[in-house]
Structures are given as structure tokens and as C-alpha cells.
Amino acid sequence: MVRRLSYIEVKEVSKQYRQRGQVTEALHDISLTIDKGKFISLIGPSGCGKSSLLRIIGGLVKQECGEVHIGGVTPLEAQKKKQFSFVPQSPALFPWRTVLQNMRLPFQVNRKADTETAKQHEHELIELLSSVGLGDFIHAYPNALSGGMQQRIGIARAFGSGAPILLMDEPFSALDELTREKIGYQLLNIWQEHQKTVVFVTHNIREAVLLSDEVVIMSPRPGRIKKVVDIQLPRPRNAELEESERFQQYISEIRALLRQEWQV
């Protein structure tokens, strides 16, 4: 019986970094499967390789051993077909472009991979900006906006780019707690509507439980997958859910697992 291939398959992947003769093993024997349309979080202390894993999936970094398949092809092939949209920790908005021009950027790059023209997406892009509350800023320049606003645009751009897989590398780390919560809910709403596959790196447990279908807990030195916790909370998720006992139980469970790493 042949098991149906998952959308994203990571098989026994290892990654080493060489610096000045010293070899650090960032990832060791990582195996993971991600289904289409799921929201997965990678959580763990610094040095557990979650960013490296994200970049390997996105074809930005090559692994030493193991295989990664994105819908049956290698990450690099998928990247060529613009299957990914990357949201880094600090908003990668070009300061010489307006907000709307930044939103159009994915459609102006690597046009070979485009199946439809950019024109068709124009009003969708504006709608997306409105849904994150920035509809009035389409002609503003990034340096006039706060970090939270810029990051919201980064997210809107990712969802508007047409790519089916979103890779987010601690996108809310640079924001304060209040903004973080607010944007988290906006992300939930956007994802609920567009249903992309999201791989979300974070070190915030509450965020991981609130947003994801599965939380992949990683441990460092070398980076391994400790456990994958299935979050069986109903969708769509909202603020009230955070008060529920089930929610708190998930948080405790994950926190306990993470604590095992540094408690002797």
C-alpha cells in the first residue's frame, strides 16, 4: 500500500555549518510531513535550527543529507515556480517603493513562473491591505510607517503574492506584546480566508498554540524534533479561545516539553 505523499515532506535532513574549521550540526535527522493548507509552527530555543529548517524547505539553503519534497519536486524547483513567499523577521519592504508598489513586487520578479498577469491582482492587493487595516496607506512610503504596520504589509504581501506556501521566520519578534497579539489575530483572519500552507517559526508558545494546527517542538545542539503536538482546537479561532482550559493545557504541555531542555 503506497502512502500518499504529503505536500511538504522532509526526510532525514541534516545540516552542518562550517566556521573556522569548526563544524556545528544545526539539524540532525529531521523528518517532518506537512499537509496542504495546514498552519504549522516550529518552536524551540535559539540554536535549535528552526530558521535553518525553514530555509531548507524554501530552497534558500541546501541540506547536507536527506531529502525534501515540495509537492513532489525539490525545494529549488518549487522556488523557481514561485511556490514560496517569505516573511522575514524585519519587514523586507523596499524603502523607495510605496506600499502598493511593494505589494506588486512579487509579480515583477521571476515572471517566467507567473501563470496570470499582475493586473488581475491589483484590486485584490488593495483589499488585502484593507483587511489588515492599512487601506489608507497604499501610497505611503515604508519609512512613514511603524514597525507593526510594515510587518502587516509584509504579511499582506505574502498572502497576495499568489504563492501557496508561506514561510515566516519569527515575523513578530521585533514587535511589542500588544501589537503582536493584534497582528496575530489579523493573521488568523487572513489565513482563514486564503488557506495557504504556512510554516511559522516562533518562540512564543501562546502564539504557536493560537495560530497552528500542529506545533513542532525542536530541541537544540544538535537540532532535533522533540515532539509534534496536534492542536485540536476548533477553527475559526478567536480571542475567547485563549481563556479556555484546553488552550491553557496545550500551553502547559508545550512549556513543559521545552523546559526539559534546560532543566537538569
Partner 1 sequence: MANDEQETRGYQPPKVKLSKRLKRFYVKSSFWPPLAAFVGVFILWELAVTLFHINSITLPAPSDVLVEWLNSFSFYLKHAWVTFYEAVLGFLLGLSVAFIMGTIMAHSTVLERTLLPIAVLANVTPIMAVAPLFIIWFGFGTLPKVLIAAIITFFPMLINSIMGFRSIDENHYVYMRSLHASKLEIFLKLRLPNSLPYLFSAAKTCVSLSVMGAVVGEWSGSTQGLGNVIMMASNYTQTTRMFAAIFMLAIMGVSLTNFIRYVERKVLYWHVSANDWK
Binding residues vs partner 1 (CB under 8 A): 58-60, 79-80, 82, 84-86, 88-92, 94-97, 105-106, 108-110, 113, 141, 143, 161, 167
Cβ proximity to partner 1: between 65 and 109 the closer is 109
**Cβ atoms of 25 and 48 closer than 8 Å:** no
At 64, phi and psi to the nearest 5? Answer: -80, -45
CB of 125 to partner 1, least distance (A): 16
CB of 231 to partner 1, least distance (A): 27
What are the beta bridge partners of residue 27? 15, 223
Cβ proximity to partner 1: between 22 and 143 the closer is 143
Cβ proximity to partner 1: between 86 and 247 the closer is 86
Distance CA(15)–CA(35), nearest Å, equals: 23
Cβ proximity to partner 1: between 109 and 256 the closer is 109
Q: What angle separates helix 99-108 from helix 147-160, to the nearest 10 degrees?
A: 30
CB of 262 to partner 1, least distance (A): 29
| Cell digits of residue 60 | 534558500
Cβ proximity to partner 1: between 13 and 166 the closer is 166
Cβ proximity to partner 1: between 75 and 222 the closer is 75
Positive or negative, the Cα torsion across 199, 203, 209, 210? Answer: negative
CB of 150 to partner 1, least distance (A): 11
CB of 258 to partner 1, least distance (A): 27
Q: Reduced to 3 states, what is the DSSP secondary structure of residue 54?
A: helix
CB of 123 to partner 1, least distance (A): 22
CB of 44 to partner 1, least distance (A): 21
| Cell digits of residue 81 | 515556480
Distance CA(21)–CA(1), nearest Å, equals: 46
CB of 57 to partner 1, least distance (A): 11
Distance CA(27)–CA(12), nearest Å, equals: 10
Q: Reduced to 3 states, what is the DSSP secondary structure of residue 186?
A: helix
| Cell digits of residue 253 | 504541555
Cβ proximity to partner 1: between 21 and 95 the closer is 95
Distance CA(144)–CA(125), nearest Å, equals: 20
Numbers of helices and strands, H then E, in the chain: 8, 9
**Cβ atoms of 52 and 133 closer than 8 Å:** no
Cβ proximity to partner 1: between 63 and 85 the closer is 85
